[in-house]
Structure 1
Amino acid sequence: MLLPKRLHIGDTIGIIAPASPPNLENLEKGIIFLKSLGLHVKLGKHVTSTYGYLAGTDQKRLDDVHDMFRDNSISGIICASGGYGTARLASQIDYDVIMKNPKIFWGYSDITFLHTAIRQQTDLVTFHGPMVSSDIGTKDFATLSKKMFKQTFEPTHLAYTEAISPLQVLSDGEAIGPLVGGNLSLLISTLGTKFEINTSGKLLVIEDIGEEPYRIDSYLNQLKMTRKFDDAAGIVVGDFNNAIPKEGKSSLTLEEVLQDYFADLNIPVMSGFKIGHCSPHFSVPLGAMAKLSSVDKTLQIQPGVQ
């Protein structure tokens, strides 16, 4: 586990768009929030580029990733938006650059592929949290979501309890392990690649948005068939925003799908965590050690910075 250095007031944060183009109006609003934390902001050279559904060509987006990690004036990197495109970069990234210049890397959704690739190639702890344009710059950016950025300024033990949201126990138990995962559909896209998600001894976080129950069923079935649940330490079920079937379509509920896959596992599985495409968004350090307990219905996470 490689912990990035904490931020300090006056540090500079780099903003990149390694997936789809950000909403520029929201981007500006998000930058205002980052500055309110006492940070300076530097935009990647190609943040405003477009190439169809991508924020510039693969080479441009790749250059921004490398430039921000190499730049000694940059103390942390936050992604502007998700969408699609990070998987196209994974095999071209120079991971030695990241290992030699470890720093805070923050985002979620499509950024899940980069979180997984970076962690498994370098052991760097990265952060699953709201992005500048997609979340921070929107009008309903929640107070708790804002407070979660404090963990980048000082080593912070996080504790998720039912004071934040109701939690449901799908399978009893307690387990300790590194927290990994993120967006479920992106985790599925790693399978069969050199960046395939490693769940052995890990607490696996899953979340998604806009997927009907049958699609979530399909994703979970693929994880089951590839034996990703067999040696996992536990499962943290985050938010599945808008996981409803089309009107008039016969369907299992999301809760029934989750029961089918997790109720008989001999590891702790809990759902209801506000981690994902939701408000508030509880940001977590991926790769950090954590403990999931159905006994007291908590998720406790070690600090993600040093």
Structure 2
Amino acid sequence: MDRRHFLQAPAVLGPLTATGAAGAASARPDPVRPRRLRPGDTLGLISPANASFEREPVALAIEALQALGLKVKLGAHALSRRGQFGGSDAERAEDIHRFFADDGIAGLLALTGGSGCARIVDRLDYGLIRQHPKFFGGFSDVTCLINAIHRQTGLLTFHAPFAGSTWTAFTTQHFRALVMAGEAPLLRNPEGEQGGDLVQAHDRAWTVRGGRARGRLVGGNLAVLSAMAGSAYFPDFDGAVLFLEDINEYIYRVDRMLATLRLAGAFRRLAGVVLGQFTKCEPGDGNYGTLTLDEVFEDYFGGLGVPVYRGAMIGHIPRKFTLPVGAEAEIDADARTLRILAPVVA
């Protein structure tokens, strides 16, 4: 699976380790653009969360990246396993450090998600990452790392497909445009794809509250993001455009996690909200009388006074956008679009 089915434990509060960047989260660093990925570049594959248990998914991941024109190097511990994790905490952090320090590696991409990134987020050497800025991507449980790295270093990171994701034409197009071509794309759900139906029934987006606004993109998986609350790695939401997605969570848990974000102050000064796919987020067995997702989202976002739209191609779905965490974007909730305002790679 792309993500764990249980709520990830929050990062432990307290001072950063000796390898961390003490006090870095107190001020917002200037954004740093990584170099774009070019054909012939080598991408380092890491397993910062779950292990890869079968050979074929790894082979398919490597072939997909090679089809993008990239070379691939597996981390020393990318195929390791300790329990469900891709190696010990120290080994998973070590692979990240080695690839950031290696000038022959153009970027890092997670093989898969699962759980465990919160176990290593306080083990990372953010000073090293700041000195060697490069592409870093993943989603789901890797929400923890892409937000932490941006918060601690200012490096723009990427809510991107895993190496082991389904690289559909839609997914590939959006990844290439943002990360390889250096474009500043307009992100819009596909329209007019009825598939034989009288009206479009899939990949629809709709407005919760209209309007336009600009702000920095932060967000990712709701369960993981809410588990970071109170830590030094929690995003700075002031003036941000928040994007959220999730999978396999009962609606009451979605409600509870949104309450956690609200209690942590995340919703006080948002510029806008983009809600992606909440796949298989249902009432659950024996849960009669529960709120619907529509009602939960209206309760938390309807009264914020900012533009909000729902249904964006973000999440645990085959066709997905690549989003730059920390980049300036414009939300148009009436048009149900998100525009990246400038190239996010150098």
The TM-score by the shorter chain falls in which range? Answer: over 0.9
Matched, 1:70 2:115: no
- The TM-score, its normalising length taken from structure 1, stands at 0.95
In the alignment, what sits opposite 2:161?
Answer: 130
Aligned partner of 1:22 in structure 2 is 52
Q: Distance in 2 between matches of 1:118 and 1:195?
A: 8
Q: Which amino acid aligns with 1:224?
A: R
State the Cα deviation string for residues 84-131 of structure 1 (Å, max 9, x = none).
Answer: 111111111111111111111110001001011100011111111111
Distance 2:335 2:63 in 1: 39
Structure 1 residue 152: Cα displacement: 1.6
Structure 1 counterpart SS, 2:34: coil
Is 2:179 the counterpart of 1:152? yes
Secondary structure (helix, strand or coil) at the match of 2:344 reads: coil
Question: Is 2:5 the counterpart of 1:7?
Answer: no
Mean Cα displacement is larger for which, 12-21 or 160-169? Answer: 160-169
Are 1:26 and 1:132, in contact at CA under 8 Å, matched by a contact in 2? no
1:235 aligns with 2:250: no
| 2:333 is the counterpart of 1:294 | yes
TM, length-normalised to structure 2: 0.84
Stretches of 4+ aligned residues off by more than 4 angstroms = none
**Take 1:241 and 1:218, find their aligned partners in 2: how far apart are those partners?**
17
Once the two structures are TM-superposed, the CA of residue 296 in structure 1 deviates from its matched residue by 2.7
What residue in structure 1 maps to residue 234 of structure 2? 196
On the 8 A contact 2:48/2:86 being kept in 1, the answer is yes
Tell me the distance in 2 between the aligned counterparts of 1:74 and 1:262: 41
Q: For residues 76 and 263 of structure 1, what CA distance do their matches in structure 2 show?
A: 39
Q: Which moved more, 1:57-66 or 1:249-258?
A: 249-258
Question: How far apart, CA to CA, are the structure 1 residues paired with 2:120 and 2:96?
Answer: 9
Q: Output aligned runs, 1:1-306, within 5 Å.
A: 1-23=31-53, 24-133=55-164, 135-136=165-166, 141-150=167-176, 151-163=178-190, 165-250=203-288, 251-302=290-341, 303-306=343-346
Determine if contact 1:126/1:304 at 8 Å carries over to the other structure. no
Distance 1:264 1:62 in 2: 41
Give 1:44 deviation, angstroms.
0.1
Alpha-carbon contact 2:221-2:246 (below 8 Å) kept: yes
**Counterpart of 2:210 in structure 1: which amino acid?**
D
| Post-superposition offset of 1:248 | 4.1
Rounded to whole Å, the distance in 1 between the matches of 2:292 and 2:236 is 28
Q: For structure 2, which runs of at least 5 residues remain unmatched after alignment? A: 1-30, 192-202
Q: Which amino acid aligns with 1:12?
A: T
CA contact (8 A) 2:218 2:240 kept: yes
Asked whether the equivalents of residues 86 and 111 of structure 1 are also in contact (C-alpha less than 8 Å), the reply is: yes
CA contact under 8 A between 2:332 and 2:338: conserved in structure 1? yes
In structure 2, do the counterparts of structure 1 residues 41 and 2 end up closer, same or farther at CA, with 3 Å as the change threshold?
same
Q: State percent identity of aligned pairs.
A: 38
Task: Give the Cα separation in 1 of the matches to 2:264 and 2:116.
Answer: 24
1:153 partner letter: M
- Aligned to 1:132, the other structure's residue is in SS state coil
Q: Give the Cα–Cα distance (whole angstroms) in 1 for the partners of residues 279 and 140 of structure 2.
A: 12
Letter in 1 for 2:220: G
Tell me if structure 1 keeps the 8 A contact 2:230–2:264: no
Aligned residues: 301
Partners of 1:17 and 1:47 within 8 A in 2: yes
CA distance in 1, matches of 2:152, 2:159: 17
Q: CA RMSD in A?
A: 1.3
Query: Aligned with 1:91: secondary structure?
Result: helix
| Residue 21 of structure 1: how far off its partner (Å) | 0.3
Q: Could you give the per-residue CA deviations for residues 22-64 of structure 1, whole angstroms, max 9, x where no partner exists?
A: 2432111110011111111100000111111111111110110
